[in-house]
Amino acid sequence: MAVTNTAFEVAPLERLVHPLPTESANGTAARRSEAFAWIAEHGMPTRHDEPWHYSPHNELGTAMGNAAPAQARSVDPSTIESLAGQHGGPRLVFVNGFYSADLSDPATSSEVWCGPGGQVPSEQHSLVETAEAREFTDGFHALNRADGGEAAVVIAAPGSTTDAPIHIVHLTAPGDTLEVAHPRTVIVIGQNASAAIIESFVGLDGAALRNTDTTISLGADATLTHHRVQTEAGEAIHIGHTDVIQAANSTLMSTSVMFGARIARNAFRVEFTGEHATANLSGIQVLNEGQRHDTMITADHRASSCYSDQEFKSVIEERSRSSFSGHIIVRPGVVDTDAHQTNRNLLLSPNGQADTRPWLEIFADDVRCTHGATVGRLDDEALFYLRSRGIEADLARSMLIDAFIREVIDTVKPKSLRDHLKAIVAAKHAEVSIGHDDLHREAKRLDAS
């Protein structure tokens, strides 16, 4: 099936979603109809769509043409902890988009509710519906909604504070043939509430296609610490979409990590609808063995006196390729905007490739917007300095790579997640597999010399 916008036929896509159960609500059927109508009008993304310019469209089209809806499967609890870690708070686990009650430990206190979409209390249905009442951004986003699967839902009550992070795990369990799943997450943080949420996208070995969607709504004065961790298996294709709405004086601190999947995309959009809101967005991609990862970050300033910062890094080895597009929009009439973006890329091989693009659309005068991008190899002077202090070449190289990555990972909380990510990096790249104790001893030796 070709991915095209011209005279687009919806019929081939209908077999990529699960049949609606006979007892499904009318609203679910209406959403599916609306989603397919949108796709029929707008089509699926092509290289001519700016946000999708760097994506491997031929491979995506081939995968979609061969895929069938994913089936529910069971996994062992130890598998979840091995792939996603254990972080001490409530946990929701979905396997191939299906909720697993046996693997989950949901929270249902007066402070926070989390669980599958089908169990949301009736008095909170409107919160979820409002959060999801967003215009589709592309055909994959619409296709996710057309599937109508059960979402992972987190609702933090106004004024509440969570003691431990809420962990949402979306696990891929491939079948004998290529399958597609459409996991969804809905997060609603009430006025003056504070929460920490980890989204883990993990997978067992095997080919699979994942088309994910996360919707986040922050009320006035709300605070959210959010970590999106994608460590799918090496044969997987992962398409990720996150949509954040921020009300006045809200604060978002979000870190995106992409280590897994043969082809991966992280589209993260923040829309400021109230004044004095803040979004600090950071991320790291570590690629090897021909991986292809795309990051598309958008900060849409629709309200005055808001602040956004984008700081993203990539480490590219062998024949891998990464791309970063940082989109800043300042709407007409919006004043006192402060928006920044930085993208740094470390090429470890002459066969690697990094594409980086600042994309600014500014329709107002009272703004402070900056952007910067670098693509380069390891610093020869820094390597020479470390070698001159008696450090072996391989160890010196590893120390510089490790420092580059850890500028992002060391900001991640809780410690359990930070340690989990460090272990994944160590396993993924032998050259950055230095233990923390080894680095600490080297640093002390250098200070003493």
Could you please report the per-residue DSSP string of 325-383? EEEEEE-TT--SEEEEEEEEEEE-STT-EEEEEEEEEE--SSEEEEEEEEEE---HHHH
Q: Is residue 448 scored above 90 in pLDDT?
A: no
Q: Specify the pLDDT at position 432.
A: 43
State the average pLDDT over residues 33-62: 93
In this prediction, residue 25 has a pLDDT band, given cuts at 50, 70 and 90, of low
The secondary structure element, H or E, covering residue 184 is: strand 184-189
Range with top average pLDDT, 280-284, 409-413, 419-423: 280-284
> Higher confidence at residue 383 or residue 120?
120
**Cα 115 from Cα 107, distance rounded (Å):** 7
Using alpha carbons, select from 154, 159, 149, 158 the residue that is nearest to residue 184.
Answer: 149
pLDDT at site 447: 53
- Sequence letter at residue 445: R
pLDDT value for 318 = 84
Q: How far apart are CA 95 and CA 88, in angstroms?
A: 20
Closest CA to 251 of 334, 302, 198, 191: 191
In angstroms, rounded to a whole number, what is the distance separating the alpha carbons of residues 294 and 288?
14
Which one-letter amino acid corresponds to residue 304? S
**Structure confidence at residue 1 (pLDDT):** 46
Between 384 and 437, the more confident residue is 384
Q: Confidence class of residue 65 from pLDDT cuts 50, 70 and 90?
A: very high
Tell me the CA end-to-end span of the chain in Å, nearest whole number: 63
* Cα distances (angstroms) measured from residue 84 to each of 79, 202, 411: 8, 7, 18
pLDDT higher than 80, residue 4: no
Please give the Cα distance from 391 to 24 (Å, whole number).
Answer: 65
The pTM assigned to this predicted structure is: 0.92
Is the per-residue pLDDT at 56 higher than 60? yes
Q: Is the peptide bond before 414 cis (omega within 30 degrees of 0)?
A: yes
CA 29/CA 311 separation, integer angstroms: 40
pLDDT for res 438: 52
Instruction: Of 94, 221, 101, give the one whose Cα is nearest residue 156.
Output: 221
Could you tell me the two tokens for 78?
A: 């130890």
The single-letter code of the amino acid at 213 is D
- Residue 182's DSSP bridge partners are none
CA distance linking residue 64 with residue 11, whole number of Å: 13
pLDDT band at 435 (very low <50, low <70, confident <90, very high): very low
Beta-carbon contacts of 281 under 8 Å, excluding residues fewer than 6 positions away, are 252, 254, 256, 268, 270, 297, 299, 308, 309, 310, 311, 312
CB environment 2-17: b (16+ within 10 A), e (fewer): ebeeeebebeebeebb
Is the pLDDT score of 431 beyond 50? no
Cα torsion 234, 68, 152, 57: sign: positive
29-43, 102-116, 300-314, 383-397 — which is least confidently predicted?
383-397
